[in-house]
């Protein structure tokens, strides 16, 4: 796999990662190199523990890789770059003492943006995710799906070029997941950010993404990059097609072979 350096949004260069667990050193990632193309919806799948979330956290600047680096605009990422990279977490991580709107405004507040501008931007974002009427609600009054939508609005608030999403729908029931996936595509269609979407659901990956990066079990290596050539806009009906099934099957075989290999 040769990362095309010239027009990559994010460049992962030979990243390895170890961490300490009960006195032992565990290798989480094993020399991963990849390039994330701009304005594409990129998925990362792999078995549990393969390090895909760690990789995403490194892209977010929250963890530093033990070896290698991740480069954005020619500069290695060592700390969060909130103006260029937005993050959506698995459990939404909304601040419970803030209303939905205040949550969306929070990153802007940190940047020192004026109250009027913050309010206006937050309202635009909430409208985008379809929750404008719920801005005054507290997180404990919102359903799981609604919380994630607020989290997405918050991630997009600073108009970053890249949106990182760490299994954002994992905590939702299946029906909500399908609706949210559809919603996400609608939002992406309007904003066309670069999205890196970590998931353990192969169906979700094939349905949402332009390309899927498949990782091996721990220590995580990049096994393959699979292009999803389904037409856009994606529809539910596509999930029943043979092409869909073949793509998902391909990914599944890759992961399975690695798991059963000696």
Based on the shown chain and the rule CB under 8 A, indicate whether residue 80 belongs to the binding site for another protein.
yes
Q: Which of residues 201-260 bind another protein (CB under 8 A)?
A: none
Based on the shown chain and the rule CB under 8 A, indicate whether residue 135 belongs to the binding site for another protein.
no
User: What one-character-per-residue DSSP string does 214-245 give?
Assistant: EEPSSSB-EEEEEE----SS--GGGGGSHHHH
In angstroms, what is the minimal distance from the CB of 247 to another protein?
A: 31
Q: Pick from 31, 106, 203, 224: which binds another protein (CB under 8 A)?
A: 106
Per-residue interface string for the shown chain with another protein, residues 149-178, x marking contact by CB under 8 A: -----x------------------------
User: How big is the chain, counted in residues?
Assistant: 262
With CB under 8 A, what is the number of residues at the site for another protein?
24
Angle, in degrees to the nearest 10, between helices 100-110 and 144-156: 20
Based on the shown chain and the rule CB under 8 A, indicate whether residue 138 belongs to the binding site for another protein.
yes
Contact 117, 60 (CB under 8 A): no
Gap between the terminal Cα atoms of the chain = 23
Based on the shown chain and the rule CB under 8 A, indicate whether residue 22 belongs to the binding site for another protein.
no
Q: Pick from 27, 31, 39, 91: which binds another protein (CB under 8 A)?
A: 91
Q: Pick from 67, 78, 111, 257: which binds another protein (CB under 8 A)?
A: 111
The side-by-side arrangement of strands in the sheet containing 222-227 is 85-88, 162-166, 194-198, 41-45, 211-215, 222-227
Rounded to an integer, what distance in angstroms lies between the CA atom of residue 3 and that of residue 12? Answer: 9
Rounded to an integer, what distance in angstroms lies between the CA atom of residue 183 and that of residue 175? Answer: 13
Q: Footprint of another protein on this chain (CB under 8 A)?
A: 60-62, 80-83, 87, 89, 91, 93, 95-98, 106-107, 109-111, 138-140, 154
């Amino acid at each position: 796999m040769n990362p095309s350096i010239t027009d990559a949004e994010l460049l992962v260069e030979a990243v390895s990662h170890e961490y300490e667990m009960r006195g032992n050193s565990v290798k989480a990632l094993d020399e991963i190199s990849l390039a994330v193309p701009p304005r594409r919806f990129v998925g990362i799948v792999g078995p549990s523990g393969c390090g895909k979330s760690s990789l995403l956290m490194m892209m977010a600047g929250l963890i530093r890789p033990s070896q290698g680096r991740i480069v954005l605009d020619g500069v290695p990422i060592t700390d969060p770059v909130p103006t260029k990279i937005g993050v959506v977490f698995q459990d939404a991580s909304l601040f419970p003492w803030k209303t939905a709107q205040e949550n969306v405004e929070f990153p802007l507040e940190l940047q020192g943006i004026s109250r009027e501008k913050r309010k206006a931007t937050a309202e635009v974002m909430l409208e985008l995710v379809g929750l404008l009427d719920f801005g005054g609600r507290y997180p404990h009054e919102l359903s799981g799906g609604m919380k994630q939508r607020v989290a997405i609005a918050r991630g997009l608030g600073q108009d970053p070029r890249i949106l990182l999403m760490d299994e954002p729908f994992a905590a939702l029931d299946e029906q909500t997941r399908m609706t949210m996936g559809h919603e996400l595509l609608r939002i992406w269609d309007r904003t066309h950010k670069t999205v890196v979407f970590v998931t353990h659901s192969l169906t979700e990956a094939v349905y949402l993404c332009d390309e899927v990066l498949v990782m091996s079990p721990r220590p995580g290596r990049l096994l393959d990059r699979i292009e999803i050539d389904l037409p856009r806009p994606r529809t539910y009906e596509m999930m029943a097609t043979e092409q869909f099934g073949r793509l998902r099957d391909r990914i599944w075989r890759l992961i399975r072979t690695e798991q059963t290999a000696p």
